[in-house]
């Protein structure tokens, strides 16, 4: 099965790509790591042909389950917009009201109840941005939603450190699996 021009193996359900196949771990691996969203070089993104950014909300743009936007995040988003990047929040948060309020406050397109890591979430965001997989980068703090879904479609990815240690119970559980991979990639 070919997904947006990229072949992959996902838990043995999809065929290999002819060079030994991708593994789930490779689908989780980000293109790049960053300490925080405001530390991501917009020039680097632009040099890769990126025109649109799919942004996770919780623990990427704001602390988990919060609405307050840090000045550094706000400044980075304004700079990105000034450099011509299209910006969209894609969030799995069930409370679309909070997500919508933050997105409106920041002047961002929004996809709520996104369904990450499934491809439909990223396709909806790209449709909103007017971009393709080759011209989009997904930025988030979670491997099993943000990185997996975007990598599945061949979208560039940047994994950031969570802004806060406050998280939902299921995310705390998933972090136990993520930590060893994050440490290995940070070397």
Cβ 32 vs Cβ 155: under 8 Å: no
pLDDT in tens, 73-84: 999 999 999 999
Q: What is the mean pLDDT of the chain?
A: 86
Cα radius of gyration rounded to whole Å, the chain = 16
* Most trustworthy range by pLDDT among 19-28, 91-100, 125-134: 125-134
Band (pLDDT 50/70/90 cuts) for residue 8 is very low
Q: For the chain, how are helix, strand and coil distributed in percent, rounded to 5?
A: 40, 15, 40
Contact 152, 5 (CB under 8 A): no
CB 139 within 8 A of CB 57: no
C-alpha span between 82 and 169 (Å, rounded):
37
The whole-number pLDDT of residue 5 equals: 33
Architecture of domain 32-186: 3-Layer(aba) Sandwich (3.40)
Domain ranges of the chain: 32-186
pLDDT in tens, 105-139: 999 999 988 999 999 999 999 999 999 999 999 99
Sequential DSSP letters for 118-183:
SHHHHHHHHHHHT--GGGEEEEES-IIIIIHHHHHTT-EEEEE--S-S---HHHHHHHHHHHHHHH
pLDDT surpassing 80 at residue 20: no
| Residue 40 pLDDT > 80 | yes
Question: If we measure between CA atoms, which residue out of 156, 162, 161, 133 comes closest to residue 30?
Answer: 156
Q: Where are the beta strands (DSSP E) in 19-155?
A: 32-34, 52-55, 86-90, 109-111, 136-140
Task: Write down the residue that tokens 């449709």 correspond to.
Answer: 127
Paired residues of 3 in beta bridges = 6
The CB-based long-range contact list for 180-184 (8 Å cut-off, 24+ gap) reads 181/25, 181/28, 181/29, 181/143, 182/33, 182/143
How many residues are given for the chain? 187
Q: Which of 112, 116, 115 is nearest to 99 (CA)?
A: 112
């Amino acid at each position: 099965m070919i997904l947006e021009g990229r072949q992959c193996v996902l838990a043995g359900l999809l065929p290999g790509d002819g060079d030994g196949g991708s593994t789930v771990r490779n689908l989780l691996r980000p293109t790049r790591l960053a300490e925080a969203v405001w530390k991501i070089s917009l020039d680097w993104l632009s040099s890769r042909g990126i025109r649109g950014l799919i942004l996770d909300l919780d623990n990427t743009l704001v602390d988990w389950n919060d609405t307050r936007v840090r000045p550094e995040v706000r400044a980075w988003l304004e700079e990105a917009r000034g450099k011509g990047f299209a910006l969209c929040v894609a969030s799995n948060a069930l409370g679309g009201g909070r997500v919508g309020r933050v997105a409106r406050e920041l002047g961002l397109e929004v996809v709520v109840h996104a369904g990450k890591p499934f491809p439909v979430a990223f396709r909806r965001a790209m449709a909103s941005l007017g971009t393709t997989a080759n011209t989009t980068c997904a930025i988030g703090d979670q491997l099993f939603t943000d990185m997996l879904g975007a990598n599945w479609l061949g979208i560039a990815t940047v994994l950031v450190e969570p802004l806060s240690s406050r998280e939902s119970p299921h995310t705390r559980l998933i972090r136990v699996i993520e930590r060893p991979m994050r440490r290995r990639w940070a070397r």
